Structure 1
Amino acid sequence: MEGQQTPEILDYRNENGNGWSFYKNDGVLRRIGSTPEDDIEMIRKVQKLELRDDDVLIAAYPKCGTHWLWEIVTMLRAGNSEYQKEAKEVAMLGMPKYERADELPSPRVLNSHLHFRHLPEKLAEKNIKTIFIMRNPKDVSVSYYSHVNGMKASFRFDGTYSEYLELFLEGKVSSGDYVDYVKDWLQVKQDNPDLPMLTLFYENLKMDPVKNIKTVADFIGVSVSDELCEQIAEACSFKKLRAADTEVKQHTSNPSDIWKEGHQGMYRKGEVGDWKNWITVAENEIFDSLIERRFEGTGIVFTYE
């Protein structure tokens, strides 16, 4: 870090003190955990991470189905519908344990919420198979609020959903602006036409899991039977994933150290259209206007119910 200028700290907490402080790294708003310097160093190390030819990377904004899809791809590669107990967070580039990804046996299924420019530099050069999954931003905002409101320490947000939504629509949340993130990955595909990249929608995977699991299998070059796809779809239903996740956490950590009492942890509802239970008519009009304006010309059509 010697000789590097200390980044400007941007305090985006609201008048009630809810929110976070950020700094900018190559145009991306990054929430400050320990220090900006530590975060900059972490990203630098991720960028230098050695990739293997048979790696698969899942890229997604938080709460867009990252863990769900990770389980599916891992099961497809293993040829069974058994849950993996250790590797998920280790395989997440940008998380504290990511350096242990080197210890994972091939073929690895890596995953990340980072922007493309913060991921390993050889991603495009080595033509690493990349799966990008999107979700309608209204459900993303609700699920993300529940996540940050439910955590006791790292993401802690004690405000209301309406307070969070205001920050979300302005891009002043952890992982930055959702629209910018999606547009960034669309640009990645344009700029790197040889990069093998599959784009999925969370809602499609939810509505027809077997068909979409087959699509993923074809993309990663795995031959699968209809029966295995159905088994994986069943094992990766949200009810079963939540139960499996709870069981793993009971053996590896104390959930009460991480989550507030009554919070369901990583897997909440997984429903399409739950935003209707949270967003007011006035907020929805603002949301619609922003989505129409900022996604204009992208060709993206989200499913909201």
Structure 2
Amino acid sequence: MAQSNGTVSSDMIQRMLEEMNNSLKNMQAGNGLEITQYKGKEFMPGFSVECVEHAMGEWTMPQNSVIVSSYPKTGTAWCMEIVRQILFGHDEAVLNKSKSIPIPVHLLELGSKKKFDFLPHLPIPRKFFATHIAADLFNFDKVRESNSKVIYVYRNPKDQAVSWYHFANKIPNMTREQKEKVLGKEWNEFFAKYVAGEHPTGLAKGEWYPDHVIGWMEHVKSDENVLSVEYESLKKDFPKEVCRIAKFLEVELSADDVKRVTENCTVSAMKSEATSDKTGFLKMNVRKGEVGGWKDQLTVSQSELIDKVMEEKMTGKGISFTYVL
């Protein structure tokens, strides 16, 4: 029940967070949840149709929200932490309140529709969310109407494929048999299924990562409320990219602020945060954070196949990738 000033009590927020945590624990029990079909696309277990329909439909997005959009394993958790540090890092009390909110709560397509009753009342002055859905499922009108901002983070497809492989082996809400059947038993089979568009990553059969990038980049080009951030650019010159993101979010940062964000968003700092994350989300999502690790995993023919596919799909679209630094 909302209080008279339009907020909800801290006890109610805590109950909501506990309910979300319990829901996540049940989802992580490894009971082999089903692949979800929605609007011609296939999604991994845990995807909530009711959440997406509500978020993109009747839900009123809070004013000045920030949404981190991405394909799985392209830097989602890292970019979310960068946004958190930019928005709240100057106020330790608010930053700690933000950290008390499990990261999966922010994911628009995860959990129960009931969470949307509480999201506008979370104890942080500016709300931020995340999503992996394809651009054609996203309601960009909501962003413009609420004066919100979307950050689309992407990385090179070779490192993304390797990171996806290591992450997929840890997915808690699929049985081993289900993983092997749907994703592949070992790397070569996994890779073949993946680049053939057979993995249920929120796209149509036959589509995979580059198709997600193409869809979102069309809006990066045409919508001033959407910014693209390249993972490799963050690795190459983190302070410069932090300043670019902060400017986009209309947040002024001092030199000391940029230094603070930089220190708090290193891989080691993120791994330290992961030890206190009760949902296990960060632990699953923070691995090496390197560029070029694909060279230790992909065969020459696999690397050449990705090069060929990217040339075919990206020609004339102004999209390129950085494979080594």
Alignment TM-score, normalising by the size of structure 2: 0.75
Aligned length: 271
1:209 aligns with 2:229: no
Q: Secondary structure at the match of 1:289?
A: helix
Give, in whole Å, the separation in 2 of the partners of 1:290 and 1:21: 30
Segments of structure 1 that go 5 or more residues without pairing to the other structure are 1-19
Give the conservation status (yes or no) of the 8 Å contact 2:67–2:128: yes
What does residue 165 of structure 2 align with?
A: 145
Structure 1, residues 64-120: CA drift from partner, whole Å, max 9, x if none? 111111111111111438562324221111111553423323311111111233335
Cα drift, residue 29 of structure 1 = 3.0
What does residue 292 of structure 2 align with?
A: 273
Segments of structure 2 that go 5 or more residues without pairing to the other structure are 1-32
What does residue 196 of structure 1 align with?
A: 225
Question: Residue 52 of structure 1: which of 59, 62, 71 is its match?
Answer: 62
Structure 1, residues 132-152: CA drift from partner, whole Å, max 9, x if none? 111001111111111111234
Letter of the 2:155 counterpart: R
Q: Which is further off, 73-82 or 86-95?
A: 73-82
Give, in whole Å, the separation in 1 of the partners of 2:134 and 2:39: 10
Give the conservation status (yes or no) of the 8 Å contact 2:150–2:226: yes
Give the conservation status (yes or no) of the 8 Å contact 1:57–1:129: yes
Letter of the 2:81 counterpart: E
Give the conservation status (yes or no) of the 8 Å contact 1:115–1:181: yes
Structure 1, residues 6-40: CA drift from partner, whole Å, max 9, x if none? xxxxxxxxxxxxxx975653343333x37xxx843
What does residue 74 of structure 1 align with?
A: 84
Letter of the 2:202 counterpart: S
Give, in whole Å, the separation in 2 of the partners of 1:294 and 1:117: 18
What does residue 171 of structure 1 align with?
A: 197
RMSD: 2.7
What does residue 311 of structure 2 align with?
A: 292
Give, in whole Å, the separation in 1 of the partners of 2:243 and 2:62: 24
Question: Residue 102 of structure 1: which of 105, 112, 120 is its match?
Answer: 120
Cα drift, residue 155 of structure 1 = 7.9
Give, in whole Å, the separation in 2 of the partners of 1:297 and 1:117: 20
Give the conservation status (yes or no) of the 8 Å contact 1:64–1:135: yes
Give the conservation status (yes or no) of the 8 Å contact 1:77–1:222: yes
What does residue 15 of structure 1 align with?
A: none
Alignment TM-score, normalising by the size of structure 1: 0.80
Give the conservation status (yes or no) of the 8 Å contact 2:120–2:127: no
